[in-house]
Structures are given as C-alpha cells and as structure tokens.
Amino acid sequence: MSYQVLARKWRPRNFAETVGQEHVVRALTHALDNDRLHHAFLFTGTRGVGKTTLARVLAKALNCEQGVSSTPCGTCSACREIDEGRFVDLIEVDAASRTKVEDTRELLENVQYAPTRGRYKVYLIDEVHMLSTHSFNALLKTLEEPPPHVKFLLATTDPQKLPVTILSRCLQFNLKRVPVDLITRQIEHILQQEGTAGEAVACKAIARAADGSLRDALSLLDQAIAYGGGALRAADVHAMLGSIEQTHVFTLLEALAHHNAQALLERVDLLAQHAADFEGVLADLLTQMHRIALAQVIPDAVDDTAGDRDAVLALARAIAPEDVQLFYQIGTLGRRDLPLAPDAQSGFEMILLRMLAFRPVSATQTPPVASSPVPVKATPAAPATPVPKAGAPKPAQSAASGEWAEIIEALKLTGMTRQLAANCVLQGREGPVMRLLLDASQAHLQRKSAEQQLQQALQGYLGAPVKLEISTGTPEQETPALAEARVQNDRQQAALQAVESDATVQALCATFNTRVQSDAVRVIEKSE
C-alpha cells in the first residue's frame, strides 16, 4: 500500500477527533442532536484549521444511515464513501477554479432534484469568496428559498469579501488558530501512535512554525521525519526550518543581562555564519523575554517542555523587570522595522544595541531628568492657561516641581491630558504610587480619561507600573502651567517695552499722536 501523508491519515473523521475548535463542535453537536439544522453553514478561518474537515464531518452526520446525529457511525456505506470522497450526494466545489456565473448556474441547476442516495444533497463550496459578483447573485436566489433536502456548507479564509446578502443567510462559525500547546500535544500523540521517536523540543519547534495551522504542522512533521531519517530530532528540525538552537538565544540574553556589547556582536556574527533567519531569531528572543517576564511575576507558570526552565529563572533573576519590559518593547518595534534595514544582520544588531543604549529609570525613585531617554524641549503652554495674579504661588520652585515640568515635556502630551499634568505639582512617589496635587482653580481638568492617558504615558516613560493619586488643593510651589504662563507674560512685557522704547516707534507716536496697542505685540519664536 502506498504511503499516506500524515495530514490526510490523521484528518479527523468525527467531531471528537477535532483539535482546538471546541466552540464550533459544541454548536454543531447541539444543532444535530436537537434537530435544529440551518440550511446554510459558513466556516471561516485561516488555512489548515479544519474548515473543510468539519464540513465533511457535518455531511456524514447528516447522511449517516444510522440517522442524523452528532456521532455518525463511520462504518455505513454513506460514511465510508464520504471519507473516501466518492459520495454522490456530496458535491464539493473549489470556487477558486469555478468563478464564472456559468459554472455556478450549472452547479445549481440540479438543486431541485432529490438526493440520489443520501438523506440530504450537500453542496460544499471551498474558498467561496472567490466567486464573482454574478455567481453570488445566482447563489443568493437558492439560499433565499432552498429546497428542504439541500444543505450548503461554505468555507472561506476571507469572509470580508462575501456580500452581506450571503452572510445574512448563513449560520457562521469562526474557527480559531490552534494554540501551540494543542498542536504540540497532537504531534506527540501522532508520534506515539506511529511508533516514531521524537524530541519534545522538536515537537514544539514545529508547532510554533505552523503558526496556528494543524495541517501545516503535520506537513512539517512529515518533512522533518523524512529529513531525520525516520526520527524527529531538534537539530534536524532547526536545520530544516532555518531556525536556531535556543542556546544561541540564551547566550544573547546573557550578554544583554551583563550589558556586554562585544559578546552580543560576536554571537550575531556566529549566527550570520550559519545563515540564520534574523527575523526568526528576533521572534525567538521575544518569546524568551516573555517567559522571563512571566517568571519574574509567577515563577511556577514557566513551563519546562524544552528543559530550559532553570535557564529562564536564572535570567529572570539577572535582568531587572524594567529592563525586560524595555527590551521587549524595543524588540517588537524593531521587528516591525527590520525589513526596512539595509540588511537583516545590521538591522538585528541595531535592535540589540538600542536595548543597551536606553536604560529605564528605577521604579523606586523619582526619575532624574538626565536619565530620560527622551530629549527635553520646552514648548509654549496652551493659551487657555491664566497669567498668575497677585496672591499666586511664588515663582521659586523646589527641585522636584522643576523635574516634573521636564518630565511633562518629555512625555509629549497633548490636549486635556497635558493641561491636567501641567496644572499639577509632584508631591511624592513611593514605589509605583505617584502623588500629584492639582491646583484647585483647575479642578475641572480632573477627568478619568485624562488621568488614564497620563498614567499610561508615565508607565511608558518610566518603563514600570505607575498608579496615579491626584488630589486638589493649593500648591505651595508654582505649577508648570503657572511657570510657563509667568515666563510668557515676562517675555510679552519685555517685548512691549522694547517696542515702546524704540526710537522709530516713539517718533511715529509723536507725529501721529497715537500710542502702541499692547495686545497687538506678539512674541515670535525663532525657527530652529
């Protein structure tokens, strides 16, 4: 007997064998067992998650000679013929190759006739979004008034391309990407049943490479077993996928932990000599950073499938939590920009060097301005800020209100959020709690949305969790808004005085018996 590929051999034959689509299986099971059957079903989801497989199982459940139920017998002639793809009343169509309206009309011209052998005539249309507009119109008429003996099972990877008139007449089921853990367990189960030796690390590497598609995972498994001469080994899988051993990733992380730029670049050169896929290396690096962050919060949640739990826990102790969060953020942004780099290696090196260049401020102290990675630049306050009057707080500021003003500028806030921050003074900070005092005259600025945006901006700036506590009152020192208003007022008065003291202006005023209109004098910022 010829060899049957694993993706076909292990294709589910009933609902119980499906993996990762419990929400769909449950709905279909209840519909079949309670005789609540719709005339049209639409299965959506990415490739290889089980759309056509579930459709075929549903066709068996509808036509099993033992009766309609969620557990077709699998042994009657109808079940066997559906499994073998030769059941006369299951009409399977690949819409990608039959897009013309003539094809659709030809397909539907026999809809009114009763099934030849089965209980229902089932039309399974795969990649239904590929049909033309005229084809959809031809199909729509049948979907509106279907004969009682006809069921439509539609499958697509792109439901957005289906007309709403079609969608509204179908019962839609959205299939999920299969999680890595479920794919890993299925691979291990298949290896056990096939009597094939396999390493756990190799199983997980294939599961990750499948990107949520169980069919792709089984195709990769077939390829890896052939590559390994009948066994599944991690080294063979990495070589086949073009990925790298995780020891390289841990070496990179250790170099980051010790801020050793030379070791980082040496390891990158070594990876380049092995023709590594740097986008894949970066993805592996981010995966391990996630595990490290998890270990810092819940150590018991770190799995040991690959036998590297101790290494992850050691790195969790060696790298500060705020460093891990910053590294992860830089890595995710770098992954987006990596295709724009002159070449993958230099782009990857720049991402690592960026991780070393920026250091988050410790979460246990008020951040000094000098340590901020964001350039500080003064910008004029919004015109709505009032000029300080008699009785207002004195201009002298403590070192901590000065730092608060510079932090506000570094945050690049806008709108109501900036107004809220600028009219506060920093009272103190204890761990993640940051206490601000809002000028009572500006209490209307204290809105939940502005507080949340300010808190999020501070967390991104500090690289650590922040909890804001804002109270209202009369600050003892000047708020950044009042300080900016005072500076602007002083500059305005200086500008007015300079204009009034100008000899030419004085001569004009004397000649025409007029005076300088103060509100017409404006301070013009110099262009940079």
151 and 178 Cβ atoms separated by less than 8 Å: no
Tell me how far apart the alpha carbons of residues 474 and 129 are, in angstroms, rounded to a whole number. 64
Are 32 and 166 within one domain?
yes
Q: How confident is the model at residue 374 (pLDDT cuts 50, 70, 90)?
A: very low
If one compares 335 and 106, the residue with the highest pLDDT of the two is: 335
Are 52 and 165 within one domain?
yes
Last residue of a domain, one of 330, 357, 384: 357
pLDDT of residue 360: 61
Of the ranges 55-64, 285-294, 504-513, which one carries the lowest mean pLDDT score? 504-513
Are 37 and 99 within one domain?
yes
pLDDT of residue 38: 92
Are 155 and 78 within one domain?
yes
pLDDT of residue 414: 87
* Mean pLDDT computed over every residue of the chain: 84
Q: How confident is the model at residue 308 (pLDDT cuts 50, 70, 90)?
A: confident
Mention every residue, 6+ apart, whose C-beta is less than 8 A from residue 49: 20, 21, 175, 176, 177, 178, 212, 213, 214, 215
373 and 339 Cβ atoms separated by less than 8 Å: no
Are 29 and 96 within one domain?
yes
> What average pLDDT does this structure show over 122-149?
88
326 and 320 Cβ atoms separated by less than 8 Å: no
CA nearest to 281, candidates 252, 320, 258, 313: 252
What is the per-residue DSSP string for 367-400? PPGGG-SSPP---PPPTTSPPP-TTSPPS---HH
pLDDT of residue 13: 92
Q: What is the pLDDT of residues 227-272, one digit of tens each?
A: 888 899 988 887 787 666 678 888 999 999 988 889 899 989 988 8
What is the percent of the chain with per-residue pLDDT over 70, rounded to a whole number?
Answer: 89
Are 203 and 294 within one domain?
no
What is the percent of the chain with per-residue pLDDT over 90, rounded to a whole number?
Answer: 42
pLDDT at 222 over 70: yes
- What domain range is 444 assigned to? 399-481
Whether 366 is covered by a domain: the verdict is: no
pLDDT at 394 over 70: no
Whether 155 is covered by a domain: the verdict is: yes
Tell me how far apart the alpha carbons of residues 200 and 436 are, in angstroms, rounded to a whole number. 52
pLDDT at 379 over 80: no
Are 203 and 289 within one domain?
no
42 and 74 Cβ atoms separated by less than 8 Å: no
Of the ranges 367-371, 403-407, 523-527, which one carries the lowest mean pLDDT score? 367-371
Are 134 and 159 within one domain?
yes
Distance between terminal CA atoms of the chain?
A: 79
Total domains present in the chain = 5
Range ranked top by mean pLDDT from 57-61, 232-236, 458-462, 487-491: 57-61
Q: Which residue has the tokens 């770098």?
A: 334
Torsion of CA 366, 372, 378, 380, to 10 degrees: -60
Last residue of a domain, one of 124, 140, 174: 174
Are 55 and 150 within one domain?
yes
> What average pLDDT does this structure show over 29-58?
93
Whether 380 is covered by a domain: the verdict is: no
pLDDT of residue 479: 92
pLDDT at 366 over 50: no
Are 76 and 126 within one domain?
yes
pLDDT of residue 380: 36
pLDDT of residue 375: 35
pLDDT of residue 201: 85
Q: What is the pLDDT of residues 447-458, one digit of tens each?
A: 888 898 999 999
Sheet holding 467-473, edge to edge: 424-430, 433-439, 467-473
pLDDT at 361 over 80: no
Helix ranges restricted to H, 412-466:
415-422, 448-462
Residue 182, token pair as written in the block: 């479920």
Residue 445, token pair as written in the block: 């600025």
pLDDT of residue 368: 39
Q: 234-241 and 200-209 are packed helices; what angle lies between their axes, rounded to 10 degrees?
A: 20
The CATH number of whichever domain residue 279 belongs to comes to 1.20.272.10
Q: How confident is the model at residue 280 (pLDDT cuts 50, 70, 90)?
A: confident
> What average pLDDT does this structure show over 356-369?
54
pLDDT of residue 464: 86
Q: How confident is the model at residue 381 (pLDDT cuts 50, 70, 90)?
A: very low
If one compares 417 and 308, the residue with the highest pLDDT of the two is: 417
pLDDT of residue 397: 39
Last residue of a domain, one of 188, 216, 241: 241
pLDDT of residue 60: 94
Are 88 and 120 within one domain?
yes
Are 199 and 75 within one domain?
no
